[in-house]
Amino acid sequence: MLIEQLKAQQVLPVLVIETIEQAAPLAELLLKYQLNCIEITLRTRSALQVLNYLARQYPELIIGAGTVLNVEQFDQVQQAGASFAISPGATEPLLAKAARSEMTFIPGVMTASETMQAQGYGFKLQKLFPAQVAGGVELLKAFSGPFSELLFCPTGGVNPNNMADYLALNNVAVVGGTWLAPLAQIQAGNWQQIESNFASLQGQLTVSV
Ligand code: 3PG
């Protein structure tokens, strides 16, 4: 089950990939470090193509499509081979569409009302975005009272310095972020640096990856 895989991995790399040429070496490194669950954002023109390529070439990857903003994109990423979809927010049409779909959806929230609305559609794992701006660890502590059945994936401003504080919370399943493979390092093809980012995770997580 996706939620168990995310919990075990603890971190969800959020990736902005512009070309197939960038995708292949990155996929090899992700698999080497057992970072099988990833988020590919729909922020580049070739995102769907990259998603489809990775889903076909690397079936061990569990690919989430990120930045899914509307129902059309929800359909597109499903067709491209995504295992799940993530959004920075949660509009009514998207929630309704995803609730009827077999593809797992992680809606984005940053307020109690948004959380309640997504919960109303049955979504028990929600992305807190942008986590640091929304209130970070303190917000999630406060949410654990009224929303004791929910789990969160804080993303946006998570980094090696605050990651452990998030992961220590009972209502955090996994943290997401771009710091593991920042766009500039991907663009530069700096695989050595990205590998070193992945390797340093082992010392930062409570249970090694
Ligand atoms: C996202 O789309 O989830 C965020 O842009 C990731 O935020 P970060 O760059 O602060 O990790």
Q: Which amino acid is at 205?
A: L
Residue 140 half-sphere exposure, CB side, CA atoms within 13 Å? 28
Contact 81, 60 (CB under 8 A): no
Threshold 0.85, pTM exceeds: yes
Nearest CA to ligand 1 atom 7: 156
Would you state the pLDDT for residue 203?
80
- Under a CB-based contact definition with an 8 Å cutoff, are residues 112 and 146 in contact? yes
Contacts of 5 (CB under 8 A, 6+ apart): 36, 37, 62
What's residue 207's pLDDT? 52
Q: Which residues line ligand 1 (CB under 6 A)?
A: 14, 41, 66, 129, 155-158, 176-179
Interval 147-196: pLDDT, tens: 999 999 999 999 999 999 999 999 999 999 999 999 999 999 999 999 99
Q: Domain-by-domain residue ranges, the chain?
A: 2-208
CB-based contact 82:105 (threshold 8 Å):
no
Rg (CA), the chain: 16
Q: How far is CA 33 from the centre of its chain?
A: 17
How far, in Å, is the centroid of ligand 1 from the Cα of 155? Answer: 6
Predicted confidence at residue 205, as pLDDT, reads 80
Please identify every residue annotated as catalytic: 39, 127
21, 96, 163, 167 from 176: Cα distances, Å: 24, 24, 9, 11
CATH topology of domain 2-208: TIM Barrel (3.20.20)
Residues of the chain with pLDDT under 50: 208-209
* Distance between CA atoms of residues 152 and 144, nearest Å: 10
Measured in Å, residue 91 CA sits from the centre of ligand 1 at 19
CB 16 within 8 A of CB 43: yes
| Contact yes or no for 194/26 (Cβ under 8 A) | yes
Cβ atoms of residues 66 and 40 within 8 Å: yes
Residues 6+ apart with CB under 8 A from 44: 16, 17, 18, 50
